[in-house]
Structures are given as C-alpha cells and as structure tokens.
Amino acid sequence: MKKTSLSAIPEFVYRKVVLNGRWDHAHTIVLSPRVREGIHGVHIIMPLVREKGSTVLVDRGFVSKEQLESGAYLKDCDQVEIIGLLKMSQKRNAFTPNNEPMDGKWYWTDVEAMSEFAGGEKAGVQPVLVEQIFGKLLFF
C-alpha cells in the first residue's frame, strides 16, 4: 500500500490535490455546530479509500440540518474523483468543547483522532485531511 509521506504535509498545506477512491460511509464524522449564510448545519468529514493507496480524510463541506437528516450525503457509492486542498488540524480554542468520538460528537478538526476513529494505521487510514473544493455548496 502506497502511503503519503506525512513529514512533507506541512510543506504542502493549502496545495491542490486530486484523489480517486470510494467513500467509507461507516466512518463518517459530523463536525457541529456550523453556520453558513445564516443556515444551521454541520461539516461532513468522510474517509476516502483510495484504490492504489491509503485512506485519507476528506472534508466534504457544509450540510444543512435538513440535508443531514435526509442522509443525502451518504448516497455516493461509486468511484469518485475529488479536487481539494491539503489541510492540518485546527487549534482548539478555550471555548470549544472536547471531541467525544465514542458519542459521535466532534466540535473541532483533530486529524490524528479522526484518523484513529476511521480505523487508524491498522486499517491504512493516514492522518491526512483534504478539504474538497466546490464551485458552489455541494449539499446546500
């Protein structure tokens, strides 16, 4: 299995990448709460299992509460190609609660913890986050 050199990631943050693979819906992470243009919702982070490589995490973007409840974001089952930007973990501020992965409560982007939640090194999940780029909101 080909792995990305993790030591090089900080040098390439915000660089554009193209990835191919299938979504791992079982390990979807919902970051909440989020607000975009006055609409309440969440950000969906989903592992992308690459055909000839490791699994990486992808921030698929904002989903309104209605879209979250409908499960529409879970319908992609085919091979996909995405374009995104490499990102790093967010720094947690004093007002942000602790993530509670076992309860499905995620408030901030902790790439190490998220990759462990998605299966970790044993499952080939690397602590790499890519923010998917859209021309417009995908799930709005």
Q: What confidence tens digit (pLDDT) does each residue in 8-23 have?
A: 666 777 788 899 999 9
SS3 content of the chain, % helix, strand, coil (to 5): 25, 40, 35
Predicted TM-score (pTM) of this structure: 0.85
Cβ neighbors of 92 (< 8 A, separation 6 or more) are: 108, 110
DSSP 54-75: -EEEEEEEEEEHHHHHHTGGG-
pLDDT tens by residue, 97-126: 999 999 999 999 999 999 999 999 999 999
Query: So where are the chain's domains?
Result: 6-132
